[in-house]
Structure 1
Amino acid sequence: MVDKAADEIAAGHKCTPAEVTPYQVAKRLDCEPNGALYAKVRDWRRRRQDEMGLVAIDLPAGAETEFRAMLENLTTEATDHFVRTVRMVGSDLDRTAALRIADAERRRVEAESETAEVLELCQHAELDLGAANTRIGELEEALAQAQRREDMLRGRLEQRDADAAKPGTITETDDVAAADGTAAPSHPDTMDADAPVQQSMPFHEADGASE
């Protein structure tokens, strides 16, 4: 019963045994699908597929040879196309690598040139800095010497002012004037009282006249 119902369904729907379902068979038999029905439908499918597999198919004469030749030709063309593609890709890779290497070499040369320029600038800067430090040292030494001279002159000036403020004190200026013989004559009021006084005597001429 299951085989007949399944055959009718396959013929009516013009489908393969694999497309016939147990539900369709149960509906045609007007029964509930159960495990036994499923097992019978699977057994029917297997038997019908085995019967279909045993049917021999007659090939035209030379069909197999033509198919093999076509397949070999396709294989050769596919192989040639694959080889050409690989070679083209390899050539592109080589060209890209060569361009990258050339660009890297150019950038390396530029970097080395820039590095040399920077080093030269640094050397010049170091020389200029050394000369500037030397000049600064010289100026600082000259400033220190000028400061010492200023301090010495300031001290002498202050000492002279202090000595000049004392009464009866001979200043350094008076000593210099005395040494030069340019000292001013002493005032009569300042003469020593104990010093001998020279009096002027009248001069008598030869004829005996006198004053």
Structure 2
Amino acid sequence: MGPPADVDKAADEVVAARGCTPAEVTPYQVARHMACEPNGALYAKVRDWRRRWQDATGLAPIDVPAGAEAGFRAMLEQLTAQAIDHFVRTVRMVGGDLDRAAAMRVADAERRRVEAESETAEVLDLCQKAEVELAVATAKIGALEDALAQAQRREDVLHGRLGQREADALKSGAITAPGEIAAVAGAGAPPHGDVVDVAKHTQQAMPFHEPDGASE
């Protein structure tokens, strides 16, 4: 039985029309070109046409030995395992570097925190000392102000007494003017030149009247 010329012709026309190789032609494409339904007989004829074309062009399929395929798979698996090991080591190394960098950052932050706390404690201590010194100074100022006020009051009392004595002396006629006090004191001075207190002499000569509102 000769080759199915109709199928071979249709298959060649499909190759020419599509610009492909016979290995790329399918039975379905040949059936459409022939305007018929694909069936088992047509599939067998297309495969026979493809086999004859391969025999004619010397493109017979090459069988790969089973040992070669197994060796290639083993080599591929070994390379894959080595690549995975290298990737794991790289990830661990990078992770270790990250951990060390994070630990250094944490240690530096802790050091800065301790330094800040120490400086804060020193500032608080200085503030407390300043508050104590301020309180002591404020107390001293208050005491000085009280002493000044008391001295001022005593001075006012003495001025009042002196004024009262002069007024009493003027009323009694013993001394007519403030300038005569020195003259009277000089007339009664002892021969050795001792100075007699005018206020004391006046107090002995004139009775003392306490002014209203004056106190010791």
TM-score (norm 1): 0.56
1:129 matched to 2:127? The reply is yes
Deviation of the 1:83 alpha carbon: 0.6
- Structure 1 range deviating more: 95-104 or 73-82: 95-104
Q: Deviations over 1:32-87 (max 9, x none)?
A: xxxxxxxx63x2366422544589x79xxxx75x5311211111111010011011
Aligned AA (1:131): K
CA contact (8 A) 1:163 1:169 kept: no
Deviation of the 1:13 alpha carbon: 3.4
CA contact (8 A) 2:7 2:30 kept: yes
Indicate the residue corresponding to 2:174 in structure 1.
Answer: none
- Structure 1 range deviating more: 106-115 or 4-13: 4-13
1:18 matched to 2:28? The reply is yes
Q: Percent identity?
A: 9
Indicate the residue corresponding to 1:44 in structure 2.
Answer: 38
Indicate the residue corresponding to 2:108 in structure 1.
Answer: 110
Indicate the residue corresponding to 2:150 in structure 1.
Answer: 152
Aligned AA (1:183): V
Q: Which protein, 1 or 2, shows the higher relative CO under an 8 Å CA cutoff with sep ≥ 6?
A: 2
Q: How has the CA–CA distance of structure 1 residues 5 and 53 changed in structure 2, closer, same or farther, with 3 Å as cutoff?
A: closer
Indicate the residue corresponding to 1:83 in structure 2.
Answer: 81
State the distance in 1 between where 2:161 and 2:41 align.
Answer: 150
The number of aligned residues is 156
Q: How has the CA–CA distance of structure 1 residues 21 and 47 changed in structure 2, closer, same or farther, with 3 Å as cutoff?
A: closer
Q: How has the CA–CA distance of structure 1 residues 5 and 44 changed in structure 2, closer, same or farther, with 3 Å as cutoff?
A: farther
TM-score (norm 2): 0.55
Report the RMSD for the aligned CA atoms in angstroms.
Answer: 3.9
Unaligned runs of at least 5 residues, structure 2 = 16-21, 56-61, 170-194, 207-216
Q: How has the CA–CA distance of structure 1 residues 164 and 150 changed in structure 2, closer, same or farther, with 3 Å as cutoff?
A: same
Deviation of the 1:18 alpha carbon: 2.9
